[in-house]
Structure formats: structure tokens, C-alpha cells
Chains A and B, each alone.
Chain A
Amino acid sequence: MIENLDLGMVNWARAQFALTAMYHWLFVPLTLGITWIIAFFHTIYVKTGSEEWKRLTKFWMKLFGINFAIGVATGIIMEFEFGTNWSNYSWMVGDIFGAPLAIEGIFAFFLEATFFAVMFFGWNRVSKGFHLFSTWMVAVGSNLSAVWILVANAWMQYPVGQAFNPDTARFEMQNFAEVAFSPYAVNKFTHATSSSMLMAAFFIISISSWYLLRGRHILMAKRSIVVAACVGLLASVFTIFNGDESAYEVAQVQPMKLAAFEGLYEGQKNAGLVALGWINPEKKVYDTQEPFIGFNLHIPGLLSLMANRSFGSFVPGMKDLVYGNAEHNILGAVQKMERGKKAVVSLDAYKQAKKAGDSAAADVHLAAFNTNKEFLGYGYLGKPEEAVPPVAMSFNAFHVMVILGSLFPLIFFGYLYFSYKGSLLEKKWLLGLGTITYILGMIASQAGWIVAEVGRQPWSIQDLLPVTVARTNLTAGTVQTTFFMFLGLFTLLLIAEICIMVKQVNIGPEEN
């Protein structure tokens, strides 16, 4: 199956997917979040009939439109990249993974696409009420699309509601409700959308703060800030809360990911959460190097609490998960690989027997396969250490996200407090910090996706299908070529986007 394995191709395909996903995510959070805030502004305008609120609504709408185009352009690539770069994956799980994508298209994208045009161009064409309704529908549509794509992503991390069919060698859906309402999906959705609200709030705060520093559009900027800071404060607290839920979920279904992003090599009871520390990027799971370079600070028990909701509980480390730990009844990748290899052998024997028409032998092999099938994916790993994701990257991304994420509620609170006191204009330091909050938010958000996606390597489907099998049969050179094509085009368009955005911000809202 993977005789002619070309790791170079797999890594280029991963790089290309990461590139597309990260560029896509530069634009998506703003779309998910700001549409709600724009709908809120629009509602105030319709209620009050105030021209000032109309100007404000139109201004944020215009910036949203610039951002939206390139979000759509990068999005279509992602949908088809599953087929182009991961075609074996697409065939093996298309039954399950395709459904949410199709549902997203039918119910979410059409909502977005239909009402997007009304929202932008409906000012004098449709009634005020219907226009407002359309603005809300764009918000609903874009967030609905997030539901379905995150259902799909969550399924890869925690593959529920499916069974492997040995006759077709595919994973087939058994229970749609389990896939759609998987607890992992619920957490993914709440975490991604609440953090997107936070990002949208930062976007508004960044631009409004800049206006205040320049002494321009004071009224509009202040109004925007109050709304954005309220939304942002709630969203940032909620994001921390459901982030904690996500970590608990990861600990339960992807313990290796948790161990990697905490740099936990040796399992521990009363395990501590790293508050400060520089991870040793050279360390391997089998060597005796120190996991951290120099000083590091752990908060005792906190990791156990996060992972198992109990201070004293045992959190398995990467060594336990690779080599096993009998005391705590943990199977390691070593043991799982043994059983996985058996599953692969039985599966092949089953296929041969079926081909030969020997149904008695086929039954025997199938029974043998069934005892080991949950470890099938491990049968395709080369060595047990491959089960460990890139530790340093996961660790750094996780801690950047957590540190920034803990800071965010304070920033929103500061804005609200000084707005309430009426002294926001004098707090130049806060306004200065405010102008870069969007960039900070983006760093935290991208880091979050690195944790989620790098942390689950080598699996495209957790424990069942490694990326080396999921690939398309392409040469590294081909994927490399398209990688640079996309990199060049996306970067060019990003630069154009930023320039246009800066110019539009500079122009500001339309004057009466």
C-alpha cells in the first residue's frame, strides 16, 4: 500500500495545506465575528434612523467586503485540496467527510451568497426591514458554514459514528447524529466562533484606536469601541472557558497531543502546567536530554486538573504513550503497532481469501482482523516514535495562544473601564496597544490552529489513518510547484488587500 512512500511529497502536501489554511484563516475569523457586530450596528440604525449609525454600519461593512473576497478565494482551494493532495483520504472517508461539506454548501454558503449582495447593494432596493434581515442572514450563514466545516475537522480528531468496512477498505458512516453532535465538534465550534468574535472586536478596536490617536472620527470611533469592547470582553472570557473544555476533550481522546503541547515526556500524577519554560527542540522521546532548557516553572496539579478534572490524577507523558505503561494500564504505540500490523496482515489475507472464493478462510481472517481493527492505523507506522507530533512547535504554539488569550480580557476591560470613566482619549498607552491588538489576536488564533493540526500528527484521522497513507500519489516536485504557485499568488493578493484596507481606513467613513 505504501511501498513507494515518498515522505517529501507528504510533507510538501502538508505544507501546502497549512499554507492555504493559514491564509484562509487570516480572513475567516473577521467574517465570522464582524458580521454579528455589523448586524448589531445596522439594527441600531434601523431602530433610531440615525444617519450617524448608518455611516458607521456602512464603513465596517465596506472593510468586511474587502476581507470577504479573499476569504472566499482561499476557501474554494481548501475544499478541493482534500481531493487533489489527499485523494486516498477522500476515497477512504468520503462517506463521512463529504457529507458535512455538502451540507455546508447547501445550507450555509447559499445563505451567505444570497444575502451578501442584498446587504451590500440593498440600501435603496429593498425595504429597510428586509435589508436588516439580510445583514443578519449573512452572519447566520457564515457561522453556519463554520459549524459544518468544524464538524468535519472534529471528526478527523475524534472519529465517531463510523465503522471500517473490510470489503471496501473504507470508513463508512453509521450514525450521522454522532458525527454532527460530537462533543469534540461542539467544543471546536464554540472555541472557533467565540475567538472569532474576539478577533472582530480587536479589528474594530485597532482601527478605532488609531482614529482616536489621530483625533479623527471621534464619535464613530468611541461608539464602535464601546460595542466592540463589550462583545470582546464576553467573547474572550467565553473563549478561555471553552478552551479549557477543548483541552479536557483533547486529553480524553488525543492524549499524545496534550502531552506534546505541554512538553510532558514522563507521565505524572499531580502533573503541573508549564507557566514558564523554554522547550528543548533537540530532545527525542527515547533520549535522556532535559525537556526544558534552563529555568522552568510548573504550576503543580493544574495539568491534571485540566486533563482529568482532578488534581491528583495521572497524565500520561509521551514516553508512556510510545512505549506503554503497564502500571497505569496504558498501551503504547509499540504495542498498538504490533496489533496494527496484525490487523493489516489479516485484512490482506481476508481480501485474498475472498478473491479466491474461500469463504471459510475469509471468515477466520475477518475475525482476526476485528480483534485488532481499532489499531489499524498503527499498522502503517514505520516506528513507534512516529506517533509523536513535532513537540517544540506544538508547545510553543500552545503557550503563545494561552498567554495572549489570558491577556485579552484585560485589554477589553481596560477599554470599557476608561470609556465608562470618559478618559479613554487620554490613555495614549492603551490606544497605542489597541492599534496592534488585531495582530496579537491573529497570532493567538493561528497558534491555536497549529496546536490543533500539528499536534495531531502523524494522523489525518486520529489513530486510524496516517498522513502517509492519506496522500495522493504525486511526486514531491509537483506539489512543490503548486505550493509556490499558491504562495506567490496568495501573498500578492494579501499585499493588495492590506494596501486597500489601509487606504480605506485612511479615507474613513463617508462624510454627510
Chain B
Amino acid sequence: MIEQLDYRTLQHLWWLLCSVVGALFLFLTFVQGGQSLLWQVAKTQTEKDLVINSLGRKWEMTFTTLVLFGGALFASFPKFYSTSFGGAYWVWILILFTFILQPVGYEYRKKQWNILGSLVYEGFLFINGAIGILLIGAAVGTFYTGSNFQLNDSGFVTWMHPFRGLEAALSPSISSIFNIALGLFLVFNSRTLGAMYLVNNLELGEVPEMEARLRKASWQNLVLSLPFCLLIVGSLLFMRGYGIVDAQGTIEIVSFKYLRNLLAQPWLLGLLVAGLALLIFGVWKTAKSKETGGIWYGGLGTVLIGLTVLLLPAYNNTAFYPSKVDLQSSLTIFNASSSPYTLKVMTYVALGIPFVLAYVAYVWWLMNRGKMKIEDTGDRAAY
């Protein structure tokens, strides 16, 4: 069956697969959210250990999903990989930097002779949780607001701004406001998710005060994230975008492009609305009752929102990585993808994904049957 798929279908399919991985990553940033919440919700050493040990059993999932996101983009849209990583150099280097800090933050924090002291390792986790996610959000923002690059005949990138990608957040412009808003939305959303995950995963009967702080943090952060969400959605309704206007793939600025995309693909609007509703419902359950399952609603909601954010700038003949300085250099899923052969091979490979998801889910369930207790943090293997 895969042999019969035409090139356009494969390109759409692979953008969808990459978007699913990206959306799952956004759900899994509950780990980063928990990290940036640490000092706020955990006041005693015991509480801190509980939080760190709970997140510490999941950080690898988030990390691996990010790595897979990169690998999948490399294989299926290599021109995006080369243009963005090589071009927006400083953004990615700084993001990577925060992801070096994360694993050691967990592994070394409580170990004797760790030189830096546990506070510094907690600081590492905070940097990864706050700055890392903020920058990822700003980078995703450029899918809408565009970047400053030019590609030559060979497809080699030249970046036209000295900040090498950091201008997405640092240049004084409306684009920066949009990009930063997306970054901050992701940061506060990750904290909302983090609080709900911890409520779900910890045996809170032992630490009732932290329970109250966590439940409060879930709605506090939702409230903080909503203005940015509204700003983004509001802008999207009015923003001009970068559309493919003819069969040759010519790119032009199209007014109300993202509104047009939403109207042309109403299911995307459905995903977004359902996502937001689920997220709010999850937080409401967490904050207003003794329920612990809010994370599942919030998580699914985040996946749906993430899918919308990644599909909206790519489908319906849109350039997903537009160039502000040279429109025709803009990347679309058609000009940035691998050859049909590679996409087909990778589609066969992707048939294994449900199996991977199945065992991940099974092991997750197995390990989370019992809540994390204070005694679990006393194990010598613990973080």
C-alpha cells in the first residue's frame, strides 16, 4: 500500500508524523514545567526530593522525544534541518545547552562530592525548564513570523541577521512579541502540566501542604498562560502569511493566510478548540476537586493544541519556514522534503511506531500503579 502513495501524500503524511512527535513532546514538557516549579511548590528537602524523583523517572521520555523530533525532521525534511539548525545557530545552540544541563541535574543533584552543590543542579533544572522551553517556543513562532535567510542555487543557507536566530526573540518588532508570546505560553503551559502530573504521581497524603500548592499552581499557571494564548490566536486570525500561489511553488504574502487555512481546514479549528477545552477542564478538575486525573485531560489537550500549531503553518499550500528577506527561499513541505524513495522507506519504518507507543504506555502504566512515596526517595538509586 505504501508503494502506491504519491509524493504529495507522503510529504503531508511525514509532516503529520513530525507534528505528532512535536505535539507529544509538548505534552511531555510537564517534566520541564515541574522543574521550573520546583522551588515554588517544594519548600522542604523531603518535598524537593519527591518532586525530583517523580520527574526523574520521566525526563528521559521527554528528552528522547525531542531527539526523535530532530531525527525525524532530518530524515523527512532535511532542508528544514539544515536551514534552521545551521542558520538560526544561536537559538539552537542555547536550547541544546539547556538540554546538556538537564540529565546531570537529575543524576548528580544528591550525589556526594558533586562539586557544585545541589542548589546549582536545581538551577540547571530550572534553566532547562524555563529558558529551554521559552526558546523552543520562540523558534516555533518563526514558523509563522518568518526568519532572515537566503538559500542559494545549491540550497545552502546564508543567514542575513547577525543575531543568528536570536532575533526571533530579541529584535524590537511585532514578530518578536508573537514569538516570545508563544514561548511564554509553552513555559506556563508546561508548568500547568507539571503541577497536574505531580498531583497525579505523588502520594500527597504525606505532604498535604505541597498538595495545596500544586493544585493552586495548576490554575495559576493556566491563568498566566491564557493571555498569551489569546494574543497568539488573535494574531493568527489577522496575520498575513506566506502562501504557495501557483504550481511552480512561487511564494507570496497572503493576507489573512492563517484564518484562510483554518476556514479551509475546519478540523484544525476543531482540534484547537477541543484542545483548549480539555486543558481547561483538566485544570478545573485538579484545582477545584480532589481529583488526580487532570494531567490526562491537560496532556491530550496540549497534544491537540500542539498539532494545530504545527499543522496550521504547513498544510493548505503554506510555507512552514518562511524567509522574510527572500520569499522564494521559504521552505514548504514540498521543497524541503526528502526524495520519494526515502519517504517510502521511512514510512515502512514508521509502521513500527504503534508497537513502540504500546510498550511505552504499558511500562508507564506498570511503573505508575503505585504513587511515589517519601520512602521511595530513600533508595540509594534515587535522585
| Interface locus among A193-201, A315-323, A502-510 | A502-510
B115 at the interface (CB under 8 A from A): yes
In the bound complex, do residue A91 and residue B67 qualify as a contact, i.e. CB atoms below 8 Å apart? no
Smallest Cβ distance from B300 to chain A, in angstroms? 20
With both beta carbons as reference points, the residue of chain B lying nearest to A65 in the complex is identified as B107
A97 — nearest CB in chain B belongs to which residue?
Answer: B74
Interface check B100, CB cutoff 8 A: yes
A502 touches B63 (CB 8 A): no
CB-CB under 8 A for A66 and B74, given A169-B154, A170-B155: no
The answer to whether B75 touches A69 (Cβ under 8 A) is no
- Residues of A452-491 at the interface with B, using a CB-CB cut-off of 8 Å, are 472-474, 478, 482, 485, 489-490
Q: Does A87 contact B (CB under 8 A)?
A: yes
Q: Tell me if B254 counts as interface (CB < 8 A to partner A).
A: no
Instruction: Assess the B93–A482 pair: CB atoms within 8 A.
Output: yes
Contact pattern, B 154-177, Cβ under 8 Å of A = 1, otherwise 0: 111111000010000000000000
Please tell me if B82 contacts chain A, counting CB pairs below 8 Å.
yes
Number of interface residues of A (CB under 8 A): 88
Check: B263 CB closer than 8 A to any chain A CB. no
Residues of chain A with a CB closer than 8 A to B102's CB: 73
- How many angstroms from the CA of A95 to the CA of B367 in the assembled complex? 38
Q: Looking at the complex, which of B2-10, B221-229, B341-349 is the stretch in contact with chain A? A: B341-349
What separation, in Å, do the CA atoms of A351 and B153 have in the docked complex? 9
**A118 interface residue, CB < 8 Å from B?**
yes
* Contact indicator A94/B115 (Cβ below 8 Å): no
| B76 partner residues in chain A, CB cutoff 8 A | 98, 102
Inter-chain contact B164/A478, CB cutoff 8 Å: yes
Asked if B74 contacts A98 (CB within 8 A), the reply is yes
- The answer to whether B277 has its CB under 8 Å from any CB of chain A is no
Residues of B within 8 A of A125 (CB): 366-367, 369-370
Residues of A within 8 A of B112 (CB): 500, 503-504, 507
Partner of A88 from the list B57, B68, B82, B369 (CB cut-off 8 Å) is B82
**Which of A93, A114, A495, A502 counts the most chain B CB atoms within 10 A?**
A114
B205 within 8 A of A: no
Q: From B72, B93, B103, B369, give the contact of A84 (CB < 8 A).
A: B93
CB nearest neighbor in B for A499: B113
Report whether A113 and B380 are in contact in the complex, using a CB–CB cutoff of 8 Å: no
Query: Which residue on chain A has the smallest CB distance to residue B366?
Result: A126
CA A404 to CA B350, docked complex, whole Å: 43
Query: Taking the nearest CB of chain B, how far is it from the CB of A64, in angstroms?
Result: 11
Contact indicator B75/A102 (Cβ below 8 Å): yes
Q: Tell me the count of chain B residues lying within 8 A, CB to CB, of chain A.
A: 77
Binary interface profile of A, 394-405, with partner B (CB < 8 Å = 1, else 0)? Answer: 000000000000
> Which residues of the partner chain A approach B85 to less than 8 Å between Cβ atoms?
80, 82-84, 87, 90
Q: When the two chains form the complex, which single residue of A106, A500, A504 contacts B353, counting CB atoms closer than 8 Å?
A: A106
Q: Contacting chain B: which of A171-179, A333-341, A431-439?
A: A171-179
**Complex CA distance for A117 and B366, rounded to whole angstroms:** 11
Cβ < 8 Å to A, chain B residues 293-322: none
Contact of A76 among B84, B99, B154, B345 (CB under 8 A): B99
B339 contact set on A, CB distance < 8 A: 95, 165, 172-173
Question: Quick one: which of A66, A74, A169 contacts B107, CB cutoff 8 A?
Answer: A66
Is B231 positioned at the interface, with any CB of A under 8 Å from its CB? Answer: no
In the complex, A110→B63 CA distance in Å?
A: 10
A70 CB–B CB distance under 8 Å: yes
A49 at the interface (CB under 8 A from B): no
Q: Does any Cβ of B come within 8 Å of A288's Cβ?
A: no
| B380 pairs with A58, CB closer than 8 A | yes
Which residues of chain B come closer than 8 Å to A115, judged between CB atoms? 363
- Known contacts A69-B106, A473-B157; 4 further A-B pairs (Cβ under 8 A): A58-B381, A79-B70, A125-B366, A176-B345
Sample of 5 A–B contacts (CB below 8 Å): A93-B78, A98-B74, A101-B71, A102-B71, A110-B68
- Chain A interface residues toward B at CB < 8 A: 1, 58, 61-62, 65-66, 68-70, 72-77, 79-80, 82-99, 101-107, 109-110, 112-118, 120-123, 125-126, 130, 134, 165, 168-170, 172-174, 176, 351, 472-474, 478, 482, 485, 489-490, 492-493, 495-497, 499-500, 502-504, 507, 510
Give B contacts to A, CB under 8 Å.
Answer: 57-58, 60-61, 63-64, 66-68, 70-76, 78-79, 81-87, 89, 92-93, 96-97, 99-104, 106-108, 111-116, 153-159, 164, 338-339, 341-342, 345-346, 349-350, 352-353, 356, 359-360, 363-364, 366-367, 369-370, 376, 379-382
